[in-house]
Structure 1
Amino acid sequence: MKDQILNKATEMFLTLGFKSVTMDDIASEMGISKKTIYQHFSNKDNLVKDATTNLFENISCGIDEIILADKDPIEELFTIKEFVMQHLKDENTSPIYQLQKYYPKIHKSLMIKQFDKMGTCVIDNLEKGIQLGLFRKDIRKELISRFYFAGMTSIKDVELFNPKEFSSKTVQSCYLEYHLRGICTPKGTIQLETIINTNK
């Protein structure tokens, strides 16, 4: 039952927002009593914390599987982007905004986990791209990985990127292209444009 509650809560948080969804909403959606939820989660903060941890672990495992498929590094980034967006409900940036605003400690803890995970993945991706001649040899990998993480974090800011004006999918795609055009060799640029044209 605990896993069922966790999965349903995660789904609702991502769809409607971490602040918007109440324990009553989750109980009603599942057809159980609120008391049943409290048997497994002492309060909403604990449920939000476990939900974000669960989501992070699921996404991390999925990214690991994509990396193991050994795609070329440009295609790998596009595949990871699509996978993450599917798990974060594509267009909806509001839940992340609500998490940051109403659960700042949980959000900060999640950001630290994401940085550790993404930092390693991005540096590995950069090294593979350099070896294959797709990325420039003169890039500073540790710095670029931080630029990439900072950018990925910033584009979730709904005040900077109002979802009514810029869809999440458009912002994510443009940011990834922006990142890659800054580090690609001519060979890498050809591969990038092939992928972009294929995905149109």
Structure 2
Amino acid sequence: MKINNCDIIDRIYEETLNLIFTYGAKGWTMDTVCKKSGIAKDTLYRIISKKEELIKDTLLKELDKHNKAMQDLLIQDRDFFCTLRDSATLLSEFIAKFSLDKLSQIFLQYPSVEKAINNGMEEYFQSFTNFLNEGKKSGLLKESVDTNLLINFIHSCVMQILKHPEIYNATKDTEVLLDYFIDGIKG
């Protein structure tokens, strides 16, 4: 098998994502990924050598899919506030895909994964900032809204929700948080 075969790589990421959903960072090994993916160990280790890298790459791939869906949503020619609410729903649905206690465990065990996810979310929030700035220019948002500060605040709140699953309900609390922001910034 060739190590750059896209089908193999997709299968590895798919099985790893299932293991992350089921177990978090603990309870499985690279051997488990090999068995679930139906590939030899040496093939997996030629593609990716560490569990931490595999988890990070898998989560970043999932985040990239979400970022693409968000980009597609934000460039549609629709009502600004409908798009804003749909983007809030899309973000909360994305967060709800993950068991927050398992994600929190991954962040604790692999700080580089948390850093990579934070950086990936920066891209998402940059496109969101651009969208909000367009709304501000159009007079749909209050003139006093500092979109960069708003986005940094939302990013911090979302990461707080992700890190404390024992306190927050990801879907509901993220959507409520974003609704508060939307209602507060209307022009």
Shorter chain as normaliser: what TM range? 0.7 to 0.9
Query: Aligned with 1:149: secondary structure?
Result: helix
Which residue number corresponds to residue 181 of structure 2?
Answer: 179
Matched, 1:144 2:147: no
Correspondence for 2:109 among 102, 105, 116: 102
Give me the identity figure in percent.
Answer: 20
Residue 72 of structure 1, CA deviation:
3.0
Residue 24 of structure 1, CA deviation:
3.4
The answer to whether the Cα contact below 8 Å between 2:67 and 2:124 also exists between their aligned partners in 1 is no
Give the 3 Å change call, closer, same or farther, for CA 76–19 of structure 1 in structure 2.
farther
The answer to whether the Cα contact below 8 Å between 1:6 and 1:51 also exists between their aligned partners in 2 is yes
Q: Give the superposed CA RMSD.
A: 2.5
Tell me the distance in 1 between the aligned counterparts of 2:38 and 2:118. 33
Give the 3 Å change call, closer, same or farther, for CA 76–18 of structure 1 in structure 2.
farther
Residue 81 of structure 1, CA deviation:
3.4
The answer to whether the Cα contact below 8 Å between 2:16 and 2:33 also exists between their aligned partners in 1 is yes
Residue 5 of structure 1, CA deviation:
0.6
TM-score by length of 2: 0.80
Tell me the distance in 2 between the aligned counterparts of 1:23 and 1:78. 40
Equivalent positions of 1:107-118 (< 5 A) are 107-115=114-122, 117-118=123-124
Tell me the distance in 1 between the aligned counterparts of 2:109 and 2:117. 14
Query: Aligned with 1:156: secondary structure?
Result: helix
Matching residue's letter, 2:37: M
Matching residue's letter, 1:27: C
Tell me the distance in 1 between the aligned counterparts of 2:113 and 2:72. 26
Query: Aligned with 1:138: secondary structure?
Result: coil
Give the 3 Å change call, closer, same or farther, for CA 75–14 of structure 1 in structure 2.
farther
The answer to whether the Cα contact below 8 Å between 2:135 and 2:141 also exists between their aligned partners in 1 is yes
Which residue number corresponds to residue 162 of structure 1?
Answer: 166
Residue 32 of structure 1, CA deviation:
4.3
Query: Aligned with 2:78: secondary structure?
Result: coil
The answer to whether the Cα contact below 8 Å between 2:34 and 2:44 also exists between their aligned partners in 1 is yes
Matching residue's letter, 1:156: L
Structure 2: stretches of 5+ with no match in the other structure: 1-7
Give the 3 Å change call, closer, same or farther, for CA 140–126 of structure 1 in structure 2.
same
Which residue number corresponds to residue 9 of structure 1?
Answer: 16
1:38-81 CA-to-partner distances (Å, cap 9, x unmatched) read 24221212212221221222222111111121333332233233
Q: Which consecutive aligned stretches of 4+ in structure 1 deviate over 6 angstroms post-superposition?
A: none
1:75-98 CA-to-partner distances (Å, cap 9, x unmatched) read 223323333444445362123212
Structure 1: stretches of 5+ with no match in the other structure: 186-200
Matched, 1:50 2:57: yes
Number of aligned positions between the proteins: 180
